[in-house]
Amino acid sequence: MAVLNYIQAITKALKEEMERDEKVFILGEDVGPRGGVFRATDGLYEQFGEARVLDTPLAESAIAGVGIGAAMYGMKPVAEMQFADFILPAVNQIMSEAARIRYRSNNDWDCPITIRAPYGGGVHGGLYHSQSIEAIFANQPGLKIVMPSSPYDVKGLLKASIRDQDPVLFLEHKRAYRLLKEEVPEEDYTIPIGKAAVKREGSDVTVITYGLCVHFAKQAAEKLEQEGISTEILDLRTVYPLDQEAIIKAASKTGKVLLVTEDNKEGSIIGEVAAIISEHCLFDLDAPIKRLGAPEVPAMPFASKLEKEMLMNSDKIETAIRDLAEF
């Protein structure tokens, strides 16, 4: 088993799926000879040629829209948005088209497209290279939003996304690209979309989060274990539609719930998670549901100190878990 970082796991999944199914192809800005600005498609142009690793004009709505057309025809396009921040010109295509095609045609047409986009801060990307955009899309039935937290999950979830018969927005944390490394099996495997995963068992406090924040939560939990505080971590993996069953189970287990996101707190994914818990778990709750997110500023500033202030980290999570444990 090889140790891969997060972005290598992406490349591996793309490569294996393209080898497995001729209908899989990639389109986006700089995905060709350059191999992607983050190197996610490194080597794929060389292996599969220009026809299947397509450099597009700088036009996000076309990247999505052309992909949607190809998907309706029967292909399995993987469209890349260079930064999640730049997905907004494509929102009409993603929401009005991709997400609605099956429903509006009464199951006559479908749209099996995967749209990959790097999100998240911590790389000095400033306002427009750091944003979390999942909440914008997270009330669009017909669409699935997958946000993996580790290289192992990346491979299994990206393969599942490409094979999925419906449109999937696959959001990758760009800081995780080279930060997170782990053993990733050579074999072909998929991880089911729509299912959350318990990443750590614990009995005092339940942390529910996703993406890179899972990593921070694990760090905090390890530290707190030495203080005798035992933390359960649920990784949502798919943030839309949510795995209600897993959320209810994890929240009920300890009755003390901390929800974490890197996104601005208000209107974020975790607000919906909190609503599910309050609907279903009242009589298991032993403390108010606690949310930890970014302050309500429009997007991540560039200067290091401002960026750091805004970002989620393991210290913030640790303090919040401890507060809940002591409550």
Partner 1 sequence: MVRSVNELGLQRINMPQLGESVTEGTVSTWLVKAGDHIEKYDPIAEVMTDKVNAEVPSSYTGVIKELVANEGDTLEVGQLMCYIEVEGAESGENRTQPEKPEKAPENNAPADKDQSMKNRYSPAVMRIAQENDLDLTQITGSGKGGRITRKDVENAVNNKDQASNQPNVKSQQIPEESQKEQVEDFTPPIIRRKPIKVNEGDREIPVTGLRRTIAQNMVRSKTEIPHAWMMIEVDVTNLVAYRNAEKDQFKENEGYNLSYFAFFLNAVAKELKKFPELNSCWAGDKIIQRKDINLSIAVAHGHELYVPVIKNVDEKSIKGIAKEINELSRKARTGNLTADDMEGGTFTVNNTGSFGSVESMGVINYPQSAILQVESIVKRPVIINDMFAARDMVNLCLSLDHRVLDGVICGAFMSHVKSILENISSDTTPIY
Partner 2 sequence: MDNVQVSNEQHLAMYEEMLLARRIDERMWLLNRAGSIPFVVSGQGQEVMQVAASFALDKEVDYILPYYRDLAVVLHFGMTTRDIFLMAYGKAEDPNSGGRQMPNHFGQKKNRIVTQSSPVTTQVPHAAGIALAAKMEGKSLVSFATMGEGSTNQGDFHEGLNFAGVHKLPAIFMVENNKYAISVPLSKQVACENIADRAIGYGMPGIKVDGNDPVAVYQAVKEARDRALNGDGPTLIEAESYRLTPHSSDDDDMTYRTKEEVDYEKSIDGLLQYRKKLMEEGILTEDKEREMEEKLKQEINEATDYAEKAASPDPKTLQDFVYSEEGF
- Token representation of residue 113: 């497209």
Work out which of 144, 253, 256, 290 binds partner 2, going by CB under 8 A.
144
Residues 6+ apart with CB under 8 A from 35: 41, 42, 43, 44, 45
According to DSSP, the residues that pair with 258 across neighbouring strands are: 207, 290
Contact between 285 and partner 1 by CB under 8 A: the answer reads yes
CA distance 157 to 193: 7
**Span from 29-37, 93-101, 268-276, 297-305 in contact with partner 2 (CB under 8 A):** 93-101
Contact between 255 and partner 1 by CB under 8 A: the answer reads yes
What is the pattern of x (binds partner 2, CB under 8 A) and - over residues 148-177? ------------x---xxx-----------
284 binds, among partner 2, partner 1, none (CB under 5 to 8 A by kind): partner 1
- Please tell me the count of residues contacting partner 1 according to CB under 8 A: 36
Write down the catalytic residue from 129, 173, 215, 280: 129
Task: Using alpha carbons, list the distances in angstroms from residue 281 to 204, 236, 276, 299.
Answer: 16, 18, 8, 33
142 binds, among partner 1, partner 2, none (CB under 5 to 8 A by kind): partner 2
Work out which of 15, 30, 37, 61 binds partner 2, going by CB under 8 A.
61
- In degrees and rounded to multiples of 5, residue 288 shows phi and psi of -60, 145
CA distance 163 to 84: 22
- Verify whether residue 129 is a known catalytic residue: yes
Q: Is 153 helix (H, G, I), strand (E, B) or coil?
A: helix
- 252 and 120 in contact (C-beta within 8 Å)? no
**Span from 38-46, 50-58, 275-283, 302-310 in contact with partner 2 (CB under 8 A):** 50-58
- 231 and 321 in contact (C-beta within 8 Å)? yes
Interaction site with partner 2 (CB under 8 A): 25, 51-52, 54, 56-57, 59, 61-62, 64-75, 77, 89, 92-93, 96-97, 100-110, 141-142, 144, 160, 164-166, 192-195
